[in-house]
Amino acid sequence: MGGTFSLGWLAWRSLAARPVRSVLTAIGIALGVGVLAASLATSAGIDAAVDRTVVDILGRADLRVAAFQEAGLSAETIQAIRATGGVEAAASTLERRTYLRRPVAFVGALPAPVSVLGIEPDVDASVHALRLAEGAAIDRPDAPTALITERLATEDGYGIGGEVTIQALGDSETFRIVGIIDGDGPILGSNGRTVVIPMDAARRIFGAEGVDSVDLTMTAGSSATEVIAALEANLTREPYVLSTPTELASSLRASTADFQATTALIAAIALFVGAFLIFNTFSMTLSERVRELGLLRAAGATRRQAMGFVLTGALIVGVIGAALGVFIGLGLAALIAAHVRTIGAIPIDDVAFPLGGATLAFLVGLVVTVAAALEPAWRAGRIPPIEALRAGLDLAPARRARLRWLVVVFAAVAVVGLLAWPRAAGEAGIVTSLAVYAILLGATLLSPFLLGPLGRLAGIPFAAVLALEERLARGSLARDRSRTALTLGALTIGLAMIVAIGGVAQDARRSAGAWLEDVVPGDEVLTSIRPVGLDEGVEASMTAIDGVARVTPIARFDLALRGARVDAAAVIGSDLLADGRLTFVAGDRATALASLDRGGTAIVAASVADRLGLTVGDLMSFAVGDGRTVRLTVSGVAERTLPGAGGETILVGWSDAVDSFGVAGADVFAVRFAAAAGTSAGDAARASVHEMARERALEPAALNRIEGAVSDALGRVFALFDALAVIAVLVAALGIVNTLTMNVVERVREIGVLRATGMTRRQVRQMIVVEAGVLGLVGAFLGVVVGLLAGAVLVGASGGFSGPAELPWGSIGLAVVLGVAASMAAAYYPARIASGLPIVRAVQFE
Amino acid sequence: MPGDRFPNPTIRRDGTGFVPHTHTEVHLMSAILEARDLTKRYRLGETDVDAVRGVSLSVQEGEFVALMGPSGSGKSTLLHLLGGLDRPTSGEVVLEGEVVSELSDEDATRLRRDKTGFVFQSFNLIPLLDVTENVALPFTIAGGSRDAEQATRVRDAIALVDLADKAHHRPDQLSNGERQRVAVARALVTAPALLLADEPTGNLDYTTGSEILDALWLSCVARKQTIVLVTHDSKAAAYADRVLVIGDGQIREEIVLGRRAVHDAAPLIARLAQLGL
């Protein structure tokens, strides 16, 4: 095997002879692998968080019976559950949101809310598994003791032995903290701010009659099917939802699917861009080493050995780069996890780096590297010994092969991407991602043809200042069209991702904003921590405030339709009509809204109508317990309705809500002011409303603040995607360094002549920087166009807002600046080489 | 008669050919270029190599000097030092009163642009630019607006090398000889104080090579162009007024030919043969 060894040694020497290029290539691979590893680790972190949350929520429970109506599950139902055969233990829980009273009075906005969880201390431990970081569990049902989550303790400065005062309906109540719950606690979406108190206290504080859910364990030997059947026979009093831990986990996972899919797509793109870099690097090295390879062949090296020489080099770079990438991925994953945690909507755990994921990322990096080097290696094997020894061998025919090979690499990365695809992301995600991926590839294949005309355009601003430099720079870019095209393609793809993400973000923000404004009949919403009965007079007393035009109560609740949970909201139709809310796609607006108040009808959102196949006039049957059903006729389909927990709501009138569905009261009041904020009348009205809200424990929030919170959360998610896409641009910039350097190396003599003819070092540097600038501008232009296209596909696939699209100017600006800046920064090294060339050696260079 | 310009042509003959001039220093009136005790030392692996060893010389305005010598004799290195392309280890080069060897990189660049022109062995044209643009390159590099006088100079330079009909051809549309003529025109276009040519005919066949040398000679005659030519070809060297024979980094021999309308290399070849070159 002596031959192989020396070949490997030669390959190593060849890499060492071009340290900058080799290192840049390895870093390019490392960044691509890093993003992939981070994406896998993030996915694993999300999965782990989901699994943990399921355990935190359900503990040892085998089944959860959740209340369907606002009144909750009655004591009789709990009794019936406990009496069901096969049920070993059953523990009920009640969950509400409220605020903690600070020990000292504070002025200004309300603090972040907390979730309060009521438990049955005597049976809870046998069903749930609250993990305590310190202290002890609540031992007595009647003691005023509480557990708080570690995060809440840290954020608000509570400790064991301290007291928490919970804002109740009437007077607030104080509990002594006896234990700290490990981590974020058992309630998802509470941002880790949870207080656990005895059930009786919780019911008293929130005026709740029933409980939210009952979690149960089964006796050994009983089967879930039997227990479920028994429960279904026993529980006839009120509607409920039965779910298993698996169902809970999959519904949690579904909410993170888009996030995971997008991260995976960006990882695939970073890898693809990395593959460009590798391919270009080895092609360049090959054209430089043609003579050397020819010599090897003349000296008796076989084709396989010549191929082996190139592939060994790729393998070395691949191993180093991929290993480095795994470590980068580790750090990146930690950063992503920290960032995602600030968003709150997506659960994520710290990732003990999964060995499987690390190995997968490493292998994928290696495979992509070697795959990208296969074509150059194959070409290396086909170099005729005699021709290689001739000076100035033209590898032109091989250049066309590069683009063909690109398609193969694209396919390879796509296949790898499919293999590494997160299960949760679903098939629609795959199709969309492949479509986006194909658009990017198409743009790359077109770029050699667009390079000339676009380059001329992009050169105009530079030519105005540096005519000669611009001309020579453009000539240099045209020297090896396919090499430039590949480099440009990588840059285009990275920048396109940024623009596409910007487009999607814009659409998401816009639809979120437009949605609320279109459907909420108010400038502010007042949220209650308990249902406020319509007979309590809140509406009337607030409407009496000068400057308040309208106050309308809204209740959000769940309905059971065709065996599935749907979101519903109780509204006053005439208020919506008077306020001019809702855009109807079917049915008459005035008739539909008026009929809501009379009862017997409902308005559904277009998305719900599509999903359930409903049209105006259809009859919907809702199960309301005791085997009874309530039927409502679809009186209209609105483009958007009020948002619910899991989607848009079915709007029903208050009479149906109270009489048929047991809705106890409003949890939201929408307030429309007569005067705008900022005017003295408007501000006075707002102040009065806020004062009244405080008295009644209602939390006021301006609609634009809610929109702001939504777009802030969106902003954080998309900022993360942007950051990942920037890494792809970074990889592309490494490719630019390589290409520009190659362009310098190939025209050393030309640069020597220019210097001998009187070009200053500065002018030479400028020439290279202009070359990079033209490349950057063309890349930015193509990136913006392709990105808008890809963004439209992504938006369309997610059923996004269908109105006339507004361009994501922020992202476009970012892409242009980043494209030009990254390219010009990439020119630093080659420009230094070029301007530092000794003239005498340069003009004699062959 | 072009030679008439020389007030006192130092042509020495005997019956067989040229009388060797044994001094290494030649003193002429109104020297445009002077080199004083030039040394260039290179580091080659573990050893130092003296490519140029204590050379002093002087070139008069309008003079055509050839540096001849075998490969590795140091003639190209000497040319690079004279043109400010390279810095001497010691000694100095003075061009039109300016000490070239002491200039900063920036000033040396300016000097190359304004006062010298180079013609290299390879046809170093910018492939992207056509003939006119290549010739105008020094003006373009210098920047500023192109004035009518520059345009005239470019046209004249192209006419001098007889390429007026191909003024807008790209380098790849020209023969090797034509390319090198473009390089000559480019070197001449600024009317530099000094034109340096490094084996300009090295890559050309005999006929094409003669075209280049004719062009150089013509510029010398018609424009009083000072030329220093490096060559190992005695036919090329025979175009010069004076030949300095370089060996081991030193001037070994000075052969004064004087300006001649008809070039006959035979006597020079004979003399060089005597010297073993």
CA A806 from centroid of its chain's CA atoms = 21
SS (HEC) of A605-622? EHHHHHHHCCCCCCEEEE
Residue-level pLDDT at A108: 46
Structure tokens belonging to residue B166: 């191909």
**What does the alpha-carbon distance between residue A32 and residue A326 come to, in Å, rounded to a whole number?**
10
CB-closest option in A468, A754, A843 to B120: A843
**Which SS3 state, helix, strand or coil, does residue A48 take?**
helix
Of the pLDDT bands very low, low, confident and very high (cuts 50, 70, 90), residue B14 is very low
Does the pLDDT of residue A483 top 50, yes or no? yes
Number of Cβ within a 10 Å radius of residue A702 = 15
Statement: residue B7 has pLDDT above 50 = no
Residue B141 at interface with chain A, using a CB cutoff of 8 Å: yes
| Residue B9 pLDDT level (bands cut at 50, 70, 90) | very low
Residue A273 touches chain B, beta carbons under 8 Å: no
Instruction: Give strand pairing partners of B126.
Output: none
Whether residue A204 has pLDDT greater than 70:
yes
- Grade residue A400 by pLDDT with cuts at 50, 70 and 90: low
Q: What is the mean pLDDT of residues A712-719?
A: 78
Nearest-angstrom CA–CA distance, A8 and A21: 18
Distance in Å, alpha carbon of B222 to nearest chain A alpha carbon: 23
Measure Cα distances from A227 to A83, A117, A219, A455 in Å: 11, 26, 10, 72
Give me the residues paired with residue B117 across strands: B195
pLDDT value for A184: 77
- Residues A191 and A165: beta-carbon distance below 8 Å: no
- Check CB contact under 8 Å for A757 and B113: yes
Distance (Å, whole) CA A340 – CA A329: 16
Question: Largest Cα–Cα distance of chain B, in whole Å?
Answer: 58
Give the E-state strand segments of A13-150 in sequence order.
63-67, 87-98, 100-101, 114-119, 132-135, 145-149
pLDDT above 50 (res A354): yes
Tell me the shortest Cα–Cα distance from B264 to chain A, in angstroms: 31
Q: Which residues of A touch B124 (CB under 8 A)?
A: 749-750, 752-753, 843
CB contact set of A546 (below 8 Å; sequence gap of 6+): A681, A684, A685, A688
Nearest 10 degrees: Cα torsion A69, A72, A74, A80:
80
Structure tokens at B139: 């003006």
The mean per-residue pLDDT over the stretch A241-254 comes to 81
- φ and ψ at B83, to 5 degrees? -90, 0
pLDDT digits (tens, 9 = 90+) for A652-678: 999 999 888 888 888 889 999 887 777
Q: Which H or E run includes A129?
A: none
- Residue pointed to by tokens 């807002």: A801
Residue B117 predicted with pLDDT over 50:
yes
**β-pair type (A163-166, A100-101):** antiparallel
Consecutive H or E run containing A808: none
Residues in a beta bridge with A98: A114
Q: Closest-CA residue in chain B for A474?
A: B128
- Residues A510 and A503: their CA atoms lie apart, in Å, by 10
Contacts of B120 in chain A (CB under 8 A): 753, 756, 843
Using CB atoms within 10 Å of the CB of residue A393, give its burial: 0 to 12 exposed, 13 to 18 middle, 19+ buried: middle
Interface of B with A in 181-200 (CB under 8 A): 186
- pLDDT in the model for residue A110: 53
A760 to B140: CB separation less than 8 angstroms, yes or no: no
For residue A344, the model assigns a pLDDT of 64
Q: Do A758 and B138 touch (CB under 8 A)?
A: yes
Interface test with B, best of A472, A749, A750, A757 (most B CBs within 10 A): A757
DSSP string, A292-356: HHHHHHHTT--HHHHHHHHHHHHHHHHHHHHHHHHHHHHHHHHHHHHHHHHH-SS--------HH
Smallest Cβ–Cβ distance between A840 and the set B80, B125, B126 belongs to: B80
SS3 percent helix, strand, coil of chain A, rounded to 5, is 60, 15, 20
User: How many other C-beta atoms lie within 10 A of the C-beta of residue B260?
Assistant: 16
Please tell me if residue B122 touches chain A, with a CB cutoff of 8 Å: yes
pLDDT at A275 > cutoff 90 = no
Mean pLDDT score of chain B: 81
Structure tokens at A726: 């920037």
Is the pLDDT reported for residue B107 higher than 60? Answer: yes
Can you read off the two tokens belonging to residue A63? 């089944």
A107, pLDDT greater than 50: no
Residue A15 CA to residue A208 CA, distance in Å, equals 73
Residue A693's SS3 state is helix
Q: Which residues contact A202 (CB under 8 A, 6 or more apart)?
A: A94, A96, A116, A117, A118, A208
Rounded distance between C-alpha atoms, residue A283 and residue A404, angstroms: 14
User: In this structure, which amino acid lies at residue A820?
Assistant: V
**DSSP secondary-structure letter at A197?**
E
Strands laid side by side in the B47-60 sheet: B47-60, B31-44, B90-95, B98-99
* DSSP 3-state of A604: strand
Residue A86 DSSP symbol: T
A31-64 per-residue burial string, b: 16 or more CB within 10 A, e: under 16 = bbbbbbbbbbbbbbbbbbbbbebbbbbbbbbbbb
Which residues of chain A neighbour B137 with C-beta distances below 8 Å?
A: 468, 754, 757
Instruction: Say whether residue B242 is in contact with chain A using an 8 A CB cutoff.
Output: no
Closest chain A residue by Cα to residue B77 = A840
By Cβ distance, the residue of B129, B138, B141 closest to A763 is B141
Burial of A334 (0-12, 13-18, 19+ CB in 10 A): middle
CA atoms of B111 and B92, how far apart (whole Å): 15
Q: Do A472 and B126 touch (CB under 8 A)?
A: yes
- The per-residue pLDDT for A646 is 65
Pick from B86, B109, B128: which is nearest to A760 by CB? B109
Cβ-based contacts of A473 with chain B (< 8 Å): none
Phi and psi (nearest 5°) for A351?
Answer: -100, 115
A392 touching B (Cβ < 8 Å): no
User: Do B124 and A475 lie within an 8 Å CB cutoff?
Assistant: no
Q: How confident is the model at residue B228 (pLDDT cuts 50, 70, 90)?
A: very high
Asked if A545 contacts A689 with a C-beta cutoff of 8 angstroms, the reply is yes
Residue A645: the pLDDT is: 67
Q: What is the pLDDT of residue B23?
A: 38
Among A475, A758, A843, select the one facing B110 at the smallest CB separation. Answer: A758
User: Using CA atoms, how far apart are residues A179 and A130, in angstroms rounded to an integer?
Assistant: 10
How far does the CA of residue B276 sit from the closest CA of chain A (Å)? 27
Can you read off the two tokens belonging to residue A607? 């998305």
pLDDT tens, position by position, A686-700: 888 888 887 777 877
Burial B100-119 (b: 16+ CB within 10 A, else e): bbebeeeebbbbbbebbbbb
- B147 against B99, higher pLDDT: B99
pLDDT in tens, A756-770: 888 889 989 999 999
How far, in Å, CA of A577 to CA of B17, rounded?
A: 119
Smallest CA–CA distance, residue A450 to chain B, in Å, is 19
Q: Give the mean model confidence (pLDDT) for residues A821-836.
A: 89
- Residues 100-119 on B with a CB inside 8 Å of A are 105-106, 109-110, 112-114, 118
Mean pLDDT to the nearest integer, A237-264? 79
A 10 A CB-CB count for A721 gives 21
pTM: 0.74
Q: Is B193 helix (H, G, I), strand (E, B) or coil?
A: coil
Q: Check whether A442 has a pLDDT greater than 60.
A: yes
Confidence label for A779 from pLDDT (cuts 50, 70 and 90): very high
Q: How confident is the model at residue A68 (pLDDT cuts 50, 70, 90)?
A: confident
Contact A708, A517 (CB under 8 A): no
User: Residue A565 above 80 pLDDT?
Assistant: no
Confirm if A383 and A310 have CB atoms less than 8 A apart: no
Q: Which residue has the tokens 């200053």?
A: A760
Residues A164 and A146 sit within 8 Å (Cβ to Cβ): yes
Mapped onto helix, strand or coil, the DSSP state of residue A625 is strand
CA distance A707 to A709: 5
For residue range A183-201, what is the model confidence (pLDDT) as tens digits?
778 877 677 889 999 999 9
Helix pair angle (A828-835, A703-746), 10° resolution: 30
